[in-house]
Amino acid sequence: MQIQLSDHFSYYKLIKFTLPAIAMMIVTSVYSVVDGFFVSNFAGDISFKAVNLTMPFLMILGTVGFMFGTGGSAIVANTFGEGDKERANRYFSLFVYVTFALGVIFAVIGFVLMRQICFLLGARGEILANCVVYGRIILCALPFFVLQYLFQSFFAAAEKPQLGFAVTVAAGLCNMVLDAVLVLLLPQEYKLMGAAVATAVSQIAGGLIPLVYFFRENDSILSLGKTRFDGRALVKACINGSSEFMSNVSMNLVGMLYNLQLIKYAGEDSIAAYGVMMYVSMIFSSAFIGYSIGTAPIISYNDGARNKGELRGVMQKSLVILGVVGLIMLAAAELSAKSLSQLFVAYNGELLAMTVHGFRIFSLSFPFMGFAIFGSGLFTALNDGLTSAAISFLRTLVFQAGAVLILPSLWGLDGIWISVVAAECMAVLFTVLFFLAKRKRRIQYV
């Protein structure tokens, strides 16, 4: 029987409903990791460094999909909770059309300025040439990439999280198969180009399949159709989703800062070590992001329906789930650090040792990460975008940037790895303070 947003959520039902969103985000991360695996092992270390230097900029452009997805789905689910289905679908259509249009604009601008941007990111010589080739190919798929991010949130709001997972798996398999074919079979000078084409095709599939589904008659509660421009709704969606936008933009800006600090303290090889950590930690953090995406429509619906008892129950169960999962992730990361690192940099013993050591320090952040991510997502779901944005801004920019600038001067390279742990601890502390400050205004969170 299909779980509905109006149901009472036990631990079992909550996990069952959010599991497709969690799996969807993990699969998305996994096929990004597969890209890194093929590029590192078959295209060479220069290509791998080029991908790691270029990716933060490309991900920043894609965050517009996250912003309208998380912020817009909160509005749509809340409107459904108020009982206005027609207006909810009108909002949904507006957010999809605007997101696609912005994707086209950003793709054109990025394509034209790609060389200058990569130069500013520190790319030089052969690495710069590879960055430009990889980036421009990925940008051709950007309008669909932003839709892929947007629909990841709206599938849960449409009460079809399993379908969202299926689409993500299909796109991921497409990427993996094309990676295996193009990277392995193409001549050496075209392997990086092949990896970029594989990623671009999978992103087009990930955005186009949901677009066709929602345009056609379907059995979900959402469908695409006629709409009208509503500046107030767009602004509200941007404010609601500003935390996710800020989180992703800040995270990638900080990634650029990490690369610059790593070059300063350990040379260009350390970029590859950091790239490995980012690929692996992406999988772990995506589970928390997926859980936040999965619970958001439940929270928004019950907030719109003024069902405070159910809302409080979902909050309490979520804190328990996040705590247990965070500890499991820490144990898994510590035990598998060497094996995971060997997938990418087994060809260089010194680089492998650096990566394993750094990853074991870096993984101490996992027990804290989930609470900060969920806290930000909670306020987005409650249509309190400013508080959500404040949490994300502090977590992903202020604390991390401050830590990565200060701690290396005390502990050298280890200070760079420790900075992530310090930032996540501070983010949890401030998330708790925001909960306490907002407690009397909204609901009893805990």
Give the pLDDT band of residue 446 (cuts 50, 70, 90).
very low
Task: Return d(Cα 39, Cα 47) in angstroms, integer.
Answer: 6
pLDDT computed for residue 114 by the predictor: 93
pLDDT computed for residue 443 by the predictor: 46
Task: Return d(Cα 82, Cα 6) in angstroms, integer.
Answer: 12
pLDDT computed for residue 1 by the predictor: 56
Q: Is the pLDDT of residue 440 over 80?
A: no
Other CB atoms within 10 Å distance of the CB of residue 295: 25
Closest CA relative to residue 370, chosen from 339, 335, 328? 328
pLDDT computed for residue 147 by the predictor: 94
What does the pLDDT look like over 214-223, one tens digit per residue?
Answer: 998 888 888 8
Give the pLDDT band of residue 153 (cuts 50, 70, 90).
confident
- Mean of the pLDDT values across residues 39-46? 83
Q: Is the pLDDT of residue 243 over 70?
A: no
pLDDT computed for residue 317 by the predictor: 93
Task: Return d(Cα 262, Cα 64) in angstroms, integer.
Answer: 28
Q: Is the pLDDT of residue 445 over 60?
A: no
What does the pLDDT look like over 166-195, one tens digit per residue?
Answer: 888 888 888 889 988 998 889 988 999 999
In sequence order, what DSSP letters do the residues of 334-348 get, joined into one string? Answer: HHHHHHHHHHHHTT-
Q: Tell me if residue 224 falls in helix, strand or coil.
A: coil
Structural domain boundaries of the chain?
11-438
Task: Return d(Cα 182, Cα 205) in angstroms, integer.
Answer: 17
Other CB atoms within 10 Å distance of the CB of residue 433: 11
Task: Return d(Cα 196, Cα 191) in angstroms, integer.
Answer: 9
Predicted TM-score (pTM) of the model is 0.69
What does the pLDDT look like over 387-435, one tens digit per residue?
Answer: 877 887 788 778 888 888 899 888 888 888 898 899 889 989 988 888 8
What does the pLDDT look like over 313-336, one tens digit per residue?
Answer: 988 999 999 999 999 999 998 998
- Mean of the pLDDT values across residues 207-229? 88
pLDDT computed for residue 441 by the predictor: 56
pLDDT computed for residue 94 by the predictor: 94
Average pLDDT over all residues of the chain: 85
Joined tokens for residue 54: 């270029």
pLDDT computed for residue 123 by the predictor: 78
Joined tokens for residue 179: 């990676």
- Mean of the pLDDT values across residues 33-61? 82
Q: Is the pLDDT of residue 83 over 50?
A: yes
